[in-house]
A and B are shown apart, each in its own frame.
Chain A
């Protein structure tokens, strides 16, 4: 059964998301979107406090529901941030916020089914549509390793020796497998489909001597200047001067 405090928090959350969710459209004024972010961030603090209270009192189900609601709220904040960054012509930041919004929704859904009633699955589909319509196809990178040991993020014991399972919620926290010892790196891959981490991607490529930004197609002046520095270093190593 849901704790009364969590239940009233959920009612308040529904109200606040109705109020500020209407600014999740590109055409809304950026000033409203920025204001909505500050309001939702302030409300998020309340969710953090309540989740801690549930955890401290050992109410596991309520703590997991609070984790789910907190992540759901965060998905709204990140989507608003994405719109602001798009308007400010900060495309890599916009991509990062979009991905963080997607990841927050995923965590919300893994933590509890409660957010399905709030429309989390439709929000996830909406974010995939935004990704497909507004952003170019991305190229991601990932590494494959052989590991010798790992820990459970919930209890700190060796992963597999406790009862906690990766991706499941425990006392307001999703269990992760933390790799603690790598034996060797097996591969470095370039992927065009969904990688495990959509934030590790290729940002620029060398096009006729210039570093071109894959998101904006502009010449990346920042990398250009670093590349020039590198060339100088390679041609005149200090020890050779």
Chain B
């Protein structure tokens, strides 16, 4: 299942919260849209894992946390895997589009291993992606489904980026 809806201006929001402004790709806190202050920001449990996976593959992310800062994270005990909110800027989609496939492929492969020995019907991944469109506005894509289905997301991301 994929849902697309409007999202706030990420760069402006990052500036307002006094966070680093992402210039290519970044993992955003789950409440990035609504948090009143920087101190209220909360990451998903999976954020640290995704960062390690990307780092191990040489994928560079611009963390919104400034040097030495850390954001708390939620731990919710369920078998479904709740991924973080991933931002792809228009610069990245235009200049380095293969990075979208690689970064989401890494997650998909990890989840295939993670769900080994779990009932097929319970192998559910949830992931949100924020895309900066060519015109500078933002859209949020919500994915919910099998880990393998994540590999279809890059096509949707590019199409959302290019739409008028």
Contact = CB atoms under 8 A, between A and B. Distances in A.
Contact of B52 (A102, A148, A160): A160
B113 A195 contact: no
A110 B113 contact: yes
B104 interface: no
Contact of B72 (A107, A162, A183, A187): A183
Contacts, number: 84
B42 interface: yes
Given A163-B55, A167-B113, A179 B75 contact: yes
Interface in A117-159: 120-121, 124, 128, 142-150, 159
A197 B75 CA distance: 13
Interface in A188-204: 191, 193-197
Given A146-B72, A179-B75, A191-B78, A110 B116 contact: yes
A199 to B, nearest CB: 12
B75 A110 contact: no
B79 interface: yes
B117 interface: yes
A128 B79 CA distance: 15
A168 interface: yes
A99 interface: no
Q: How large is the interface on A (under 10, 10 to 19, 20 to 34, 35 or more residues)?
A: 35 or more
Contacts of B116: 106, 109-110
Contacts of B119: 128, 194
Contacts of B51: 160
A143 B117 CA distance: 23
Interface string B78-94: 11100000000000000
Given A163-B55, A194-B79, A144 B74 contact: yes
A142 B77 contact: yes
A65 B52 CA distance: 24
A230 to B, nearest CB: 28
Contacts of A179: 75
Given A110-B117, A167-B113, A144 B75 contact: yes
B56 A163 contact: yes
B46 to A, nearest CB: 9
B73 interface: yes
Interface of A: 102, 105-110, 120-121, 124, 128, 142-150, 159-160, 162-168, 177, 179, 183, 186-187, 191, 193-197
24 contacts: A105-B117, A107-B117, A110-B116, A120-B117, A143-B77, A144-B77, A148-B70, A160-B47, A160-B48, A160-B51, A163-B55, A163-B56, A167-B114, A177-B45, A179-B75, A186-B74, A191-B78, A193-B122, A194-B80, A195-B78, A195-B79, A196-B77, A196-B78, A197-B77
